[in-house]
Structures are given as structure tokens and as C-alpha cells.
Amino acid sequence: MALTFRRLAESLRTSMFPTDADRELQRWYRDGGDEALRYNYDLSESALVLDAGGYKGQFASDIYSRFNCRILIFEPVEAFATQIKNRFRRNAKIEVIAKALGSSRRKEAIALCNDGSSTWKSGPRTEDIYFEDVALVFSERKITNIDLLKVNIEGGEYELLQRLLETDLIKQVKNIQVQFHRVAQDSERRMEQIRKDLSTTHTPIYQYRFVWENWRLSDA
């Protein structure tokens, strides 16, 4: 009952007193949301998709069902990574790495909160996770082209994209689908700087502020 009341109260608030964030989310849904935008790619069976923040593997499942392409999933939370591995255990084209992508190899604590689990949050339940330097991943796996990089990592997107930009590896990524998050006072400034830097190599295909956006390599 309490949950139903909270949902009703939130629904009334967003309809009567919407914030800028509410309006942007509403615009996303009006324009078709996930179905119209997040899966609208021209991928071949040989395409490589890198999924940063796999959670339970639904995005990977939806992409694979459409394109039968190769998918590399990075999911650092042990329970989620195990669940994804079990989900795709008979699919040789989908690989799961139980680590996070970032700018360095290291260990950090993550606050566990389902799909909102983040190293930027605090909470009663935490777990140690391991990061991989995305530049080393490209080098060690001999990756020269990624057709789609999906990033939903609850604040880790700033570090990851900045690392790709500073190493110039960003030019090896055809499409970047990212959800930016407000995790610190300078989140908006960092997002705008990344957007500015991305604009030198990529073109925005759609942008919904702090919801989802996609950037495509300009000469692709």
C-alpha cells in the first residue's frame, strides 16, 4: 500500500510540477524511447558491441536478438556477472568479464543497489570490484574497431569516456550510446566537456539530457 501511494504521489508530482529532468524523460518516451532509438543500428553479424554495465544482460539480449553480433559485456558486480554468464552460457558470441571499465587497473568498493549500484554512492551493502584500463583492454584483445559502445555505469562514464578521448581510442568506436548521471557537483560541467571533445570526432544522433544520447563517428 505504501509503495502504491508513493508511486501515485510521484506520478501526480511529475504531471503537475515537472522538473527539467522530468520533461526530458517525458520527451524521451514521447519520441519512442528504447524501441525507437536504443536499438536503431545497422549492425552485421560480425559487428562487435561492447556493453559497459551489463546488469542482468537485457540490453545484450535485445541487441543479439536483432543482429546476431558479437558482444563483450563488462559487469563488475559478482552476482550480476554470474547471472549474465548463466544466461548466455550456450552462446559463444557473448562473453562476460566480471570487471568494470575505467582509466586504470584497481580495486574499489561499490554500493549495491540493483541497477543503480555505483562507486559514487554509499550504502549498507558494498562489494569490492575490479577495474580494467580500457586502453589495455583494446591493446590486449587487439581491438581495432567497436561498432557500438553502450555505457550505463552510474557515474563511471566520465572516467571511461575521458580515457578513450585522451588515448585517441575514441576514433575506433563507431557508435557511443551513453547515459550520463548526476553523481557530483561537477557532473554537468564534465558532461559538457566530454560532449565538446566528442564533437571533434563524432556527431550526436540523439540527445536527451541525463537520459540517453548517441554519438556516431563522423566519417563512418
CATH number, domain of 104, equals: 3.40.50.150
Residue-wise pLDDT for 62-119, tens only, equals 999 999 999 999 999 999 999 999 999 999 999 999 999 999 999 998 877 766 666 6
Confidence (pLDDT) at 127: 87
Residue 12 lies in a domain: no
Residue 201 dihedral angles phi and psi, to the nearest 5°: -125, -25
User: What rounded mean pLDDT belongs to the chain?
Assistant: 91
Question: Is residue 55 over pLDDT 80?
Answer: yes
Instruction: Tell me, yes or no, whether 100 lies in a domain.
Output: yes
Taking residues 2-12, report their average pLDDT.
Answer: 62
Three-state SS at 34: helix
Q: What is the pLDDT of residue 8?
A: 63
In tens, the pLDDT along 155-208 reads 999 999 999 999 999 999 999 999 999 999 999 999 999 999 999 999 999 999
The answer as to whether 87 is a domain residue is yes
The reported pTM is 0.90
Residue 9 pLDDT greater than 90, yes or no: no
The answer to whether position 1 is within a domain reads: no
Inside any domain, residue 22: yes
CB 198 within 8 A of CB 175: no
What local confidence, expressed as pLDDT, does residue 17 receive? 64
Q: How many domains does the chain have?
A: 1
CB 113 within 8 A of CB 79: no
Q: Which domain holds residue 200?
A: 18-217
Beta bridge partners of 48: 70
Please check whether residue 107 lies inside any domain of the structure.
yes
Neighbours of 89 (CB within 10 A): 10
**5 occurs within a structural domain:** no
In a domain, 95, yes or no: yes
| Residues 129/156, Cβ–Cβ less than 8 Å | no
* pLDDT band for position 4 (cuts 50, 70, 90): low
List C-alpha distances in Å: 96 to 15, 56, 76, 111, 181. 40, 11, 10, 21, 24
pLDDT > 90 fraction of the chain, expressed in percent and rounded: 80
pLDDT(3) > 90: no
